[in-house]
Structure 1
Amino acid sequence: MAPVHKIALIQTHPKPVAPTENFAKASAFIKDAASKGCKLAVLPEYHLTSWIPEDPSFKESCADSADYLVKYQELARELNICIVPGTIVEIHQDDNGEALLNVAYFISSTGEILGRYQKKNLWHPERHHLMGSAHEPHAAFDTPFGRVGMLVCWDLAFPEAFRELISDGAEIICLPCFWTMKDISDEGYALNADGEALFLNSTVVTRAFENTCAVVFVNAGGPADKGEDTNHAGLSQLSVPHVGSVGRLGRAEDMSIVDLDMNILKIAEDNYKVREDMKTEGWHYAYTQIRDGAKL
């Protein structure tokens, strides 16, 4: 019998350049999730600092990124829960000077770092401030839940990123995000004020179906006291094939606890055989008719 994993989707509202306050809030959510039997907690992108790179204090607020990573490791060990602490913005120094990296980690329940991923597909305005992971391959890694891959926000728009992780055996894709309703032009917004929600709800579910995988999508939310009256898109959800979206949140800060039944992924692969096809040589559409068990 395939296992069922209890996962916390923690849709926080990151306060700008306030890592101490944001960490305290995230920790409270994680402790609550652990007390309710969750074995994995996932936070949004930029959850410690929000994303205001033009603010003079933004880079300073990222200076203690290594310390916060250690704090999450200690919290995971204390609560016996795996944690994906959204993304943490790190200051990187090389021969060309300073650069900012947007990095997601997977921390085991023993505090060990099992996976690290630096955001590759940067949203257009981010490219003035961040350094992407360029030509580094997308790689899955082993966890207590099986093979897991990580992507971040705008990576969602690139099916190739998912395919590379699936080829490496990933069954679960964790995807922290910082997606708002107004990251597009006025012309795009005029076409459909709810267009970004449509993008997210459609694409997250599609990626789960077309890859026979689970997508753990956790986005930033708006302030809890404003309810749905916010520019933050929210909509954190677990998506799996056959079923679609599970535990989808609204747009305000909140937490959703969901059960991931790994048997669903097995049923989906038995039906769609996506992974089976991808493993065959020349799988790109080189199909022929099968007669009496022999390919012609």
Structure 2
Amino acid sequence: MQIDSNFAKAATFIRSAATQGAQLAVLPEYHLTNWVPKDPGFIGLCEQWETWLEKYKSLARECGICIVPGTIVEFHREEGEDGRELGGMGEKEVRERLLNVAYFIDEKGAVKGKYVKKNLWGPEREHLTSSGRDVHEVFDTPIGKVGMLICWDLAFPEAFRELIAQGAKIIIVPTFWTLNDCNEAGLKQNPSAEAVFLDSILTARAFENTCAVVFANAGGPPGRGYAGLSQVTVPFIGAVTRLGSCAEGMTVVDVDLQILEDAEANYKVRADLERDDWHYDYRHSGKGKL
């Protein structure tokens, strides 16, 4: 909840990445506020979401770099669509929502894409509103066709399929995933079960979709359950770069996207998606049918 200092630290990392020639900077989910929805001050910070979005747009312009500022939790208070009055007192129906939102901001400070988290982790469901049945969208950006997912979306291959069916080559995934997200039974089997989950699933998603996955997860002091493992994962190789779990830090990595074309030439996943007789065309199709 130290939102000013968290932004300042993020800006320092982003400026450093820009001076090293990076075209894109990605931050973790909930990086400004953490996830403390029951704290009395949480809603008040989430009401300021437009202020922080504008700060990141200005930072992108200043540094000439694209930014996915992790996620920003937005508080929205809206009147009911039909403007109904409640209780005969002249009060209109009001709906309050918390949305967990990722933005893609280009190097000129323009928002090129927005994604509201769809697949909510169990404890989030009491507080957040999902994007529900809204279709996953792909955005044209200076680094190519990009799709965005958030954290627990990783567990759903359908989300990736919808994105690559629309031509996404890079999937960006801001995340706040900890080792303590495993239940007691799983932790007894393996205290690092969630790390196995993350490393395995990120590699699988890159291979099975011939895409690059940019995964930025929260890291932190040892003994507090942070999983970390931020990485960029591509077919053939797996993780091109990978941070550990017990340190806050940044890495700048060069990714030659030709590897995606080489992987597609081998596995032909996208080609199968585009076929008229593809077995699963009732759900996903390279021709835009969903």
Q: How does 1:184-223 map to 2 (within 5 A)?
A: 184-222=182-220
How far apart are residue 285 of structure 1 and its match? 7.1
TM-score, normalised on structure 1? 0.88
Note the 1:127-146 alignment, pairs <5 A. Answer: 127-146=125-144
Match of 2:39 among 49, 55, 75: 55
Aligned residues of 2:70 and 2:174 also touching (Cα < 8 A): yes
- In 1: Cα distance, 2:280 partner to 2:124 partner: 36
Q: Which residue of 1 aligns with 2:174?
A: 176
- Please tell me whether the aligned partners of residues 44 and 177 of structure 1 are also in contact (alpha carbons under 8 angstroms): yes
Contact 2:182 2:193 in 1 (8 A): no
What amino acid maps onto 2:54 in structure 1? V
Extract unaligned runs of 5+ from structure 1: 1-16, 287-296
How far apart, in 1, do the equivalents of 2:224 and 2:271 lie? 43
Residue 109 of structure 1, CA deviation: 0.1
Describe the superposition over 1:30-65 as per-residue Cα deviations: whole angstroms up to 9, x where unpaired. 001001111100000001000011111111121211
Aligned to 1:239: 233
Give the match for residue 27 of structure 2: 43
Counterpart of 2:113 in 1: which secondary structure? strand
**Which of residues 97, 114, 139 in structure 2 aligns to 1:116?**
114
Distance 1:42 1:167 in 2: 23
**Structure 1 residues 247-256 or 82-91, which shifts more?**
247-256
Residue of structure 2 equivalent to 1:66: 50
What amino acid sits opposite 2:21 in the alignment? Answer: G
> What is the RMSD computed on CA atoms of the aligned residues?
1.2
Pair 1:273-2:268 in alignment: yes
Structure 2 length-normalised TM: 0.90
CA distance in 1, matches of 2:3, 2:98: 16
Deviation, structure 1 residue 188: 1.7
Point out 4+ residue stretches in structure 1 off by more than 6 angstroms.
none
Count of paired positions: 266
In the aligned structure 1, how far is the partner of 2:38 from the partner of 2:186? Answer: 24
- Measured after TM superposition, the shift of residue 156 of structure 1 is 0.1
- 1:188 & 1:59 partners in 2: Cα distance? 33
Matched-pair contact (CA < 8 Å) for 2:30–2:70: yes
The CA distance in 1 between the partners of 2:35 and 2:234, in whole Å, is 29
Alignment correspondent of 1:250: 244
Q: Secondary structure at the match of 2:109?
A: coil
Question: Distance between the aligned counterparts of 1:72 and 1:155, measured in 2?
Answer: 24
Greater RCO structure (CA 8 Å; 6+ sep): 1
Q: Percent identity?
A: 58
Structure 1 letter corresponding to 2:19 = S
* CA deviation map 1:42-101 (0-9, x unaligned): 000001000011111111121211010001000000100000000000011232521100
Question: Is the 8 Å Cα contact of residues 47 and 76 (structure 2) preserved in structure 1?
Answer: no
Q: Any gaps of 5 or more consecutive residues in structure 2?
A: 81-93, 282-290
Q: Give the aligned partner of residue 98 of structure 2.
A: 100
Q: Which moved more, 1:205-214 or 1:253-262?
A: 253-262
SS of the aligned residue for 1:37 comes to: coil
Aligned to 2:18: 34
Distance 1:285 1:107, change over 3 A: closer
CA–CA separation in structure 2 for the residues paired with 1:281 and 1:202: 31
Whole-angstrom distance in 2 between the partners of 1:123 and 1:282: 35
Give the secondary-structure state (helix, strand or coil) at the position aligned to 1:149. strand
Alignment partner for residue 254 of structure 2, among 250, 259, 262? 259
Give 1:70-81 correspondences, 5 Å limit. Answer: 70-81=54-65
